[in-house]
């Protein structure tokens, strides 16, 4: 999919979007075990010290620690990534104002739940260390465990929203030619990042349409491809989010979103499985949306 980014599109993105940074730190409870490395290397007659690397998990099979990690993954995969678009290699992402309130509400709730889970882990910290002694056997070394206060400092949950900068934000005192070169460079970077964010939205739409079309295909022998109920729910979820991922307000993307939304209106997984006419109609309409654009 070729996405053309005009100065007007960049200006629109700067007016309607902001940058979102999410930083979550979790105490891993993992250390490099050099004694065990040396023991393994010796037992296996390895000739190089770098032949083996051993990582020891101080809290193996810890339900409290696992709950924190699962929650963090859910926040990133279920909130941060779906409601934002990629922006820079540093992890900063673009948040459209359409998704602003939804994002803030979800992130605030996720932050509260994060600290609740951390507190549960810390409240049981001494007990969990004692349990680790049983689980780790000869690998256990009490001196490798931090104090409760030290472990508490290893956790963090922070998010920051900031305006999207433009070349007009430069306030520098230098020669005119050099300033023009710097501004031109930044505008090129800005155009590249906006294009990548927009292409991500288009790619999400394409992947969803293609998946629906493939799953609803009926073979020459009448065999129907199987699919999960999420075929329908994921499509509706994308339609719900896609306006907020359309950072340039591309009317073609919005039109395609509306068409997919109309196609899925009232459709159920049960109907797609049992009713051949419904299955064929939905696939035909989805294929029609796919055929409107050059996805190469």
pLDDT value at residue 77: 97
Nearest CA among 189, 190, 208 for reference residue 200: 208
Q: How many CB atoms lie within 10 A of CB 6?
A: 11
- % of the chain at pLDDT higher than 70: 93
- The pLDDT tens digits for 164-199 are 877 655 554 555 665 566 667 667 888 899 999 999
Write the CB contacts of 236 (distance below 8 Å, at least 6 apart in sequence): 261, 264
pLDDT reading at 78 higher than 80: yes
Write b or e for each residue in 151-178: b if 16 or more Cβ atoms lie within 10 A of its Cβ, otherwise e. Answer: beeebebebeeeebebbeeeeeeeeeee
Residue 42 binned pLDDT confidence (cut-offs 50, 70, 90): confident
Q: How many angstroms separate the CA atoms of 19 and 166, rounded? A: 12
Write the CB contacts of 56 (distance below 8 Å, at least 6 apart in sequence): 30, 31, 32, 33, 36, 136, 139, 144
- The pLDDT tens digits for 229-288 are 999 999 999 999 999 999 999 999 999 999 999 999 999 999 999 999 999 999 999 999
pLDDT value at residue 179: 59
The DSSP symbol for 224 reads B
pLDDT value at residue 32: 87
pLDDT value at residue 50: 79
Q: Is 88 helix (H, G, I), strand (E, B) or coil?
A: coil
pLDDT value at residue 82: 96
**Checking phi first, is residue 63 left (phi over 0); if not, alpha (psi -120 to 50) or beta?**
alpha
Calculate the CA dihedral of residues 287, 288, 289, 294 and round it to 10 degrees. 90
- The pLDDT tens digits for 93-118 are 999 999 999 999 999 999 999 999 99
Residue 202 binned pLDDT confidence (cut-offs 50, 70, 90): very high
User: The tokens of 87 are what?
Assistant: 């922006």
Residue range 3-17: mean pLDDT, rounded = 88
pLDDT value at residue 177: 64
**Helical H runs in the chain?**
7-16, 34-43, 63-75, 81-83, 100-123, 125-136, 148-152, 176-215, 230-245, 251-264, 269-274, 276-291
- % of the chain at pLDDT higher than 90: 72
Domains of the chain: 18-163 (no CATH), 167-291 (1.20.120)
For residue 160, the surrounding DSSP H or E stretch is strand 156-163
Nearest CA among 183, 195, 144, 157 for reference residue 26: 157
pLDDT value at residue 186: 67
- The pLDDT tens digits for 115-174 are 999 999 999 999 999 999 999 998 999 999 999 999 999 999 999 999 987 765 555 455
């Amino acid at each position: 999919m070729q996405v053309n980014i005009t100065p007007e599109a960049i200006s629109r993105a700067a007016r309607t979007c902001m940058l979102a940074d999410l930083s979550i730190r979790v105490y891993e409870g993992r250390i490099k075990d050099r004694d065990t490395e040396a023991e393994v290397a010796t037992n296996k007659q390895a000739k190089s010290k770098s032949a083996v690397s051993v990582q020891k998990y101080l809290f193996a099979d810890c339900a409290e620690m696992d709950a924190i990690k699962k929650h963090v993954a859910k926040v990133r995969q279920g909130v941060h990534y779906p409601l934002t678009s990629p922006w820079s290699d540093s992890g900063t992402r673009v948040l459209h104002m359409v998704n602003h309130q939804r994002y803030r509400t979800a992130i605030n709730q996720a932050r509260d739940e994060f600290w609740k889970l951390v507190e549960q882990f810390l409240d049981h910290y001494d007990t969990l260390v004692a349990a680790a002694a049983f689980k780790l056997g000869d690998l256990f070394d009490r001196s490798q465990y931090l104090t409760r206060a030290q472990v508490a400092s290893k956790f963090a949950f922070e998010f920051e929203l900031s305006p999207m900068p433009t070349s007009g934000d430069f306030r520098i005192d230098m020669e005119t030619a050099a300033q023009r070169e710097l501004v031109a460079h930044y505008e090129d970077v800005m155009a590249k990042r906006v294009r990548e964010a927009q292409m991500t939205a288009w790619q999400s739409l394409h992947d969803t349409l293609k998946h629906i079309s493939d799953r609803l295909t009926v073979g020459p022998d009448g065999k129907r491809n199987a699919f999960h109920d999420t075929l329908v729910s994921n499509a509706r979820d994308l339609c719900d989010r896609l306006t907020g991922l359309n950072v340039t307000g591309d009317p073609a993307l919005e039109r395609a979103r509306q068409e997919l939304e109309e196609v899925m209106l009232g459709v159920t997984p049960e109907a797609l499985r049992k009713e051949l006419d419904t299955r064929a109609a939905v696939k035909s309409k989805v294929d029609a949306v796919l055929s409107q654009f050059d996805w190469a």
